[in-house]
Amino acid sequence: MKYSDYKKLLKNHHLRITDCRIDVLEKFHSTDHALSFKDLEDELSDYDRVTLYRTLNSFIDQGLLHRIPNDSGMAAYGLCREDCTEEEHHHDHVHFKCNLCGHVECLPNYHTPVIDLPNYDIEESYLILNGVCKNCKEELQPVS
């Protein structure tokens, strides 16, 4: 994706075009896994921490990112590839966290199961898988 595409993306989500937002967007679009705040802070150290936090929050508000909670408490953030908007996010995909490399991945092709709980109203469901990712598995047992 190129600069003008990021500008369009920001405009479509009612966000002003700024250097920080472009750079953050670029980071997310040039990786295959979700990013944590720390990932961003490390790679975009010329921006203030507060600005990065506010950037993440405005992206979530406007439907560009979704927050992926995990056991450790330090959330990861994943790109919304579905058409999420300011009004609402709609995610029903599964997430995977690798116990070796720590990467969190969105699995858009796997949907969270629909479970019926008698006498309860279910509004959302989060399914998070843990284990060893493809990359780490290959490193452990290289293809023969």
Partner DNA sequence: ATATTTATGCAACTTAATTGCATTCTGCTT
Partner DNA sequence: AAGCAGAATGCAATTAAGTTGCATAAATAT
Footprint of DNA (CB under 7 A)? 15-21, 37-38, 46-51, 53-55, 57-58, 73-75
Q: How far is the CB of 4 from DNA (least distance, A)?
A: 12
CA atoms in the 13 A half-sphere facing the CB of 137:
5
Structure tokens at 10: 């920001």
Instruction: Name beta bridge partners: 35.
Output: 77
Closest CB to Zn ion among residues 83, 121:
121
Binders in 87-126 for Zn ion, by CB under 5 A: 98, 100-101
Q: Does 73 bind its own copies (CB under 8 A)?
A: yes
- Given Zn ion, DNA, its own copies, none, residue 114, with its beta carbon under 5 to 8 Å by kind, binds none
Structure tokens at 101: 């490399």
Q: Does 65 bind Mn ion (CB under 5 A)?
A: no
Q: How far is the CB of 5 from Zn ion (least distance, A)?
A: 29
Structure tokens at 4: 């003008």
Q: Which amino acid is at 7?
A: K
Closest CB to Mn ion among residues 69, 99:
69
3 Cβ neighbours under 8 A, 6+ residues apart: 22
Closest CB to its own copies among residues 8, 137:
137
Closest CB to its own copies among residues 12, 125:
125
53 Cβ neighbours under 8 A, 6+ residues apart: 37
Answer for which of 46, 71, 83, 87 binds its own copies (CB under 8 A) is 71
d(CA 57, CA 35): 14
